[in-house]
């Protein structure tokens, strides 16, 4: 049985398909969110600040969420997160229909959706070790993440079609349907936990792990868990490299791309959606490569190659002035993203003790999304003085250096 998905393929298939619909909903919303922000504010720096606020929940709540994920039924947490995000989009649809939607309301809803994702992301990643043997984690992570990345393709393309036919407000209703579908799949999913897997106390995925406890209990467990995680080599280095890579890369990815399409290329919302969809094509292709050949390399080497190329593949964007030059550059960049996300998740699932796995992924979310919030704010300020192509070039150079520095760690290379 070594290296095979346990409990039959159904739980993993349900998880991957639900992830597809959920990320589909997020992707459709993100297209509308940034485009509407620029329309409503008319300022890149204000849009960057607003995007920063929308990415703050993981930084504010993420670590405490890790303690709760280690205590609660992870499948039910995923269901609740989908329900909450469908509800937030319902608020946006109502405000849009009443013609009273403003930038503060839009940012508030984005903040709420990001807050729901604070529990969603570590719950999803913590659930996989309960149903997959250690030897199968790389492929299982690649399959689940490829469903997420397929949504990056389908979401923007669908958003482009919806915007063309029904206006940008119609994306809110589409998102509600997608989150509802994801929630239904998770309700139908039944998880049989493999022996020895899971979270605290053996991890009963289909039942509660224990009461939430008082705030002091959560703080105490959080502090203890972080101390334990920090003593596991090379986790401090892995989190540090992740933070630096996201600091340099994500502001350009989130805010720089929409400005590049709008101002440098002079494109439309549909062109922006097409550019975002290109990410999905590249990431799905990259995930398939990891599924086929990823186990031939150590997870650490795959991660470091991915971080290095994550930066270097931004450099061609310095010369992008048309959609025909932008699309190939984005394809190359997005192809290497699974070389980061898949082995990083696999490393955590392999080396972190089961009772800490929720906190490990929550800390990863804090690092990724918290630093992304900071990066978006800095990118907005920078683009008041720099063009988007120049921002991409600077970000790419710094990101590439980050990956090369990581190769200095033999321990990380061998993982």
Residue of 215 and 326 predicted with greater confidence: 326
What percentage of residues in the chain have a pLDDT greater than 70? 87
Does 355 have pLDDT greater than 60? yes
Q: At what angle do helices 323-335 and 269-293 cross, to 10 degrees?
A: 30
Q: Which of 100-114, 192-206, 275-289 has the lowest mean pLDDT?
A: 192-206
The whole-number average pLDDT for the span 242-263 is 88
Measure the CA–CA gap between 353 and 384, rounded to whole angstroms: 46
Instruction: Answer whether CATH 1.20.1250.20 is correct for domain 10-191+220-414.
Output: yes
CB 249 within 8 A of CB 370: no
Alpha-helical (H) ranges within 231-293 are 235-251, 257-259, 269-293
Measure the CA–CA gap between 33 and 70, rounded to whole angstroms: 32
Tens digits of residue pLDDT in 26-84: 877 877 787 788 778 777 777 777 777 776 777 777 777 777 777 778 788 888 888 99
Instruction: Give the pLDDT score at 87.
Output: 92
Residue 191: pLDDT band with limits 50, 70, 90: low
Instruction: Give the pLDDT score at 7.
Output: 38
Q: What is the four-CA torsion angle of 171, 175, 177, 180, rounded to 10 degrees? A: -170
Q: Which of 174-183, 289-298, 386-395 has the lowest mean pLDDT?
A: 289-298
Instruction: Give the pLDDT score at 313.
Output: 94
Instruction: Give the pLDDT score at 161.
Output: 76
The values of phi and psi at residue 337, to 5°, are -60, -45
3-state secondary structure (DSSP) of residue 74:
helix
- The reply to whether the predicted model has a pTM over 0.75 is no
Does 130 have pLDDT greater than 80? no
The values of phi and psi at residue 5, to 5°, are -70, 130
What percentage of residues in the chain have a pLDDT greater than 90? 15
| DSSP H helix total and E strand total for the chain | 18, 0
Residue of 370 and 105 predicted with greater confidence: 105
Alpha-helical (H) ranges within 294-352 are 299-312, 323-335, 338-351
């Amino acid at each position: 049985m070594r290296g095979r998905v346990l409990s039959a393929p159904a739980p993993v298939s349900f998880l991957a398909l639900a992830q597809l619909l959920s990320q589909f909903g997020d992707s459709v919303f993100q297209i509308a969110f940034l485009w509407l922000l620029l329309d409503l504010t008319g300022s890149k720096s204000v849009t960057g600040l607003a995007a920063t606020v929308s990415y703050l929940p993981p930084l504010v709540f993420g670590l405490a969420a890790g303690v709760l994920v280690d205590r609660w039924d992870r499948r039910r947490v995923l269901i609740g997160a989908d329900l909450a995000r469908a509800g937030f989009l319902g608020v946006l649809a109502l405000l849009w229909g009443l013609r009273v939607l403003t930038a503060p309301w839009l940012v508030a809803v984005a903040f709420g959706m990001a807050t729901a994702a604070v529990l969603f992301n570590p719950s999803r990643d913590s659930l996989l070790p309960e149903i997959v043997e250690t030897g199968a984690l790389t492929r299982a992570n690649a399959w689940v993440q490829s469903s997420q990345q397929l949504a990056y393709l389908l979401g923007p393309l669908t958003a482009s079609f919806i915007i063309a036919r029904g206006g940008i407000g119609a994306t809110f209703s589409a998102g509600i349907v997608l989150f509802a579908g994801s929630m239904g799949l998770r309700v139908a999913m039944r998880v049989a936990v493999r022996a020895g897997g899971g979270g605290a106390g053996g991890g009963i995925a289909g039942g509660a792990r224990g009461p939430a406890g008082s705030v002091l209990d959560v703080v105490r467990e959080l502090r203890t868990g972080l101390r334990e995680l920090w003593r596991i080599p090379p986790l401090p280095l892995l989190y540090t490299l992740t933070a630096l890579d996201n600091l340099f890369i994500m502001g350009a990815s989130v805010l720089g791309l929409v400005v590049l399409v709008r101002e440098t290329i002079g494109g439309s919302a549909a062109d922006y959606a097409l550019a975002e969809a290109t990410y999905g094509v590249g990431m799905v292709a990259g995930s398939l490569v990891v599924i086929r050949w990823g186990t031939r390399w150590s997870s650490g080497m795959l991660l470091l190659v991915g971080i290095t190329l994550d930066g270097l593949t931004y450099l061609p964007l310095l010369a992008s002035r048309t959609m025909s030059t932008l699309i190939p550059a984005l394809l190359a960049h997005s192809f290497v993203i699974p070389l980061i996300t898949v082995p990083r998740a696999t490393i955590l699932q392999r080396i972190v003790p089961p009772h800490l796995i929720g906190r490990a992924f929550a800390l990863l979310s804090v690092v990724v999304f918290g630093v992304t919030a900071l990066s978006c704010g800095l990118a907005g300020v920078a683009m008041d003085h720099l063009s988007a192509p120049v921002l991409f070039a600077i970000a790419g150079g710094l990101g590439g250096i980050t990956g090369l520095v990581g190769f200095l760690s033999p321990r990380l290379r061998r993982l």
